[in-house]
Structure 1
Amino acid sequence: MDDSRRKKWVAWAAALAIFVVLMLVTPAIPQDEDYHDFADQRTLFLGIPNTLNVISNIPFFFVGLTGLILCHYKDFFRLSSQGELWSWTLFFVGVTAVSFGSSYYHLYPNDATLVWDRLPMTIAFTSVMAIFIIERVDDRAGTKSLAPLVIAGALSIMYWRQVCPIFKLSFP
């Protein structure tokens, strides 16, 4: 293994070790119950509680779906690599999933359903990080970082849920 590759492996191992140590030594931050006290708590349409909070997530579905279609439509975005295509695809999957996860959370706002609000956002955010690396640093490094970033983001949400018992997944 050449020196350059060894340095990259050491950097990845160090980043992973730092991530794990931080996850273990950082105390969980419980969510303030007032967080779920929305400004609009009316039931305006079809008996949907918090109606405006729920339906405000509909645009995420259409933006995400449009982005997914355009990513794969005759090179609309003129993406430079397969890694960039995968990263944008995963970003738009995350945006589309936000419409469902956030709607579910706003239907039943509590600490347990908050996980479903934050998980799709985390997928979208971590995909954007990979896109930044692809476009600004190195295509290959960004492509290789996509899966670890998304997995680390999802694990952070699951860790948060497991460490704080109030964040257990629930389906009312």
Structure 2
Amino acid sequence: MVWLTNQQIGTWKRKRILVGSLLICWLILMFFTPKVPLHSFRHHVFADKRNFMGVPNTLNVMTNFPFLIIGVLGFVLCLGGSFFNISLKGEIWGWTLFYASVSSLAFGSAYYHLKPDDNRIVWDTLPILIAYSSLFSSFLVERAGERVGLSCLVLLLFISVFSVAYARVFNDLRLCLTFQLIPCLVIPVMTVLLPPKYTHSRFWLLATAAHAVSKIEGLADSKIYNFNGYTISGHSLGHLCSALAMVLLTVMLLYRSIRFPR
């Protein structure tokens, strides 16, 4: 009994240290990195500006369609209750919100890419941040416990809305950008540090890798577009790679099973 108590105390200390370290890293990034202005024309300039069948920026718009398919399918399966291997209410709430935000992203991002500007980018950014919040919350419920995950969900949703408002009011995208680094940096670390509750946990790492590649493709938008002979831009490929990450997570939910009860 004493051993179990000491083990629980040690686990809780590791969780607090990890969360505190993440907060410190975030503050350091905000303090030392230069301001990234929202109201800048170059943020809305993408390599592929082609117009097919009267749709502006056609491929950047159409490559959001996979988000709609995955989001609606995942949302329906979450509501069904028996298709995904989800054992806690906190996970159900997190995953349901995740797929709902992915569905919203399909419309928001398509709306933004039809005419990219400072006003429309909110409809692209906010669903992304909400999806990150709910996904990370679901991961924490699985790895750190239901109470920790749900507490972080409320906090992260507040930060998501605050980040978008901060960007609009102070013309600074740093909060939004650093918030989007969470899946790439934290999930791999916590995958190693905290034991999984379910099987097929490697899909977390595969999805994180696909997400990281999508960000790289977005940054190399013009270079990729030039390299492949102006067939498809890096930004459009980034959309498809992000959708692949969501497919991997959906496959994980379908095939995983409980490894040991927490």
Q: Structure 1 residue 27: deviation in Å?
A: 6.8
Q: How does 1:94-113 map to 2 (within 5 A)?
A: 94-113=101-120
Q: Structure 1 residue 159: deviation in Å?
A: 1.1
Answering whether residue 68 of structure 2 is matched by residue 39 of structure 1, we say no
**In structure 2, what is the Cα distance between the partners aligned to 1:157 and 1:73?**
32
The equivalent residue for 2:129 is 122
SS at match of 1:112: coil
Q: Structure 1 residue 131: deviation in Å?
A: 1.0
Q: Which amino acid aligns with 1:136?
A: R
Q: Structure 1 residue 28: deviation in Å?
A: 4.4
Q: Which amino acid aligns with 2:52?
A: L
**In structure 1, what is the Cα distance between the partners aligned to 2:35 and 2:133?**
21
| Superposed CA offset, 1:76-110 (max 9, x none) | 11211111100001100111111011011101112
Answering whether residue 172 of structure 2 is matched by residue 159 of structure 1, we say no
SS at match of 2:80: coil
TM-score, length-scaled by structure 1: 0.77
Alignment partner for residue 53 of structure 1, among 43, 60, 73?
60
**In structure 2, what is the Cα distance between the partners aligned to 1:104 and 1:40?**
16
Alignment partner for residue 145 of structure 2, among 138, 150, 153?
138
**In structure 1, what is the Cα distance between the partners aligned to 2:35 and 2:166?**
9
SS at match of 1:39: coil
**In structure 1, what is the Cα distance between the partners aligned to 2:132 and 2:70?**
15
Identity between Structure 1 and Structure 2 (%): 41
Q: Which amino acid aligns with 2:104?
A: A
Q: Which moved more, 1:123-132 or 1:36-45?
A: 36-45
The answer (yes or no) to whether the contact 1:28–1:163 under 8 Å persists in 2 is no
Q: Structure 1 residue 151: deviation in Å?
A: 1.6
| Superposed CA offset, 1:110-138 (max 9, x none) | 22211211110000001111111101111
**In structure 1, what is the Cα distance between the partners aligned to 2:167 and 2:35?**
7
Unaligned segments of structure 1, at least 5 residues? 166-172
TM-score, length-scaled by structure 2: 0.52
Unaligned segments of structure 2, at least 5 residues? 1-8, 173-262
RMSD over aligned CA atoms reads 2.8
Alignment partner for residue 94 of structure 2, among 87, 93, 111?
87
The equivalent residue for 2:208 is none
Q: Which amino acid aligns with 1:135?
A: E
SS at match of 1:48: coil
**In structure 1, what is the Cα distance between the partners aligned to 2:44 and 2:58?**
14
The 3 A distance-change label for structure 1 pair 38 and 27 is closer
The answer (yes or no) to whether the contact 1:84–1:134 under 8 Å persists in 2 is yes
